[in-house]
């Protein structure tokens, strides 16, 4: 066992789990490409181009603007750690929007037929979750600033 660990760098269980994950990924890839290989390939290329040419520059500009707004000392230009109290809830809200956008925007007609549940209310829930994320983030920021300013 120690010779295997020395040569491989981890336990045999690690190797078994890595091989199982590769097998699962291969199975998913075969199933995904079984129907419309060209359509799936075009979707991946389009998604990569959209992300790299449109979304990534938008992320960068937005982050630079947030860092500029939350500068500690204007002369030094160093961003405050408080910019993360905006980044994190915005990121989580964005991921939720990315995952649930058809339901949030009401673009799904067959949801009720498949699930038996109503498709309304997703926009209100997403807005409430987003507001709650920002409120919790602001509360944590206030508590941390209060502890920093308290005499020790």
At 77, is the pLDDT very low, low, confident or very high (cuts 50, 70, 90)?
low
Q: Are 39 and 33 in contact (CB under 8 A)?
A: no
Tell me 35's DSSP state: T
pTM: 0.62
> In the numeric block, which tokens belong to residue 38?
């060209």
Query: pLDDT tens digit string along 20-48?
Result: 999 998 888 888 778 777 887 888 899 89
Query: In angstroms, rounded to a whole number, what is the distance separating the alpha carbons of residues 98 and 46?
Result: 16
- According to the model, what pLDDT value does residue 128 have? 97
């Amino acid at each position: 066992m120690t010779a295997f660990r020395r040569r491989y760098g981890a336990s045999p269980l690690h190797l078994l789990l890595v091989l199982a994950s590769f097998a699962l990924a291969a199975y998913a890839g075969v199933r995904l490409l079984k129907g419309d290989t060209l359509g799936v390939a075009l979707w991946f290329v389009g998604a990569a181009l959209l992300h790299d040419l449109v979304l990534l520059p938008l992320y960068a500009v937005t982050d630079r603007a947030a860092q500029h707004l939350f500068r500690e000392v204007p002369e030094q230009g160093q961003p405050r750690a408080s910019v993360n109290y905006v980044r994190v809830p915005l990121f989580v809200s964005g991921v939720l929007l990315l995952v649930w956008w058809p339901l949030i925007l009401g673009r799904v007609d067959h949801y009720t037929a498949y699930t038996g549940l109503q498709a309304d209310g997703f926009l209100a829930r997403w807005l409430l979750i987003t507001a709650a994320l920002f409120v919790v983030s602001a509360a944590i920021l206030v508590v941390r600033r209060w502890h920093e300013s308290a005499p020790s």
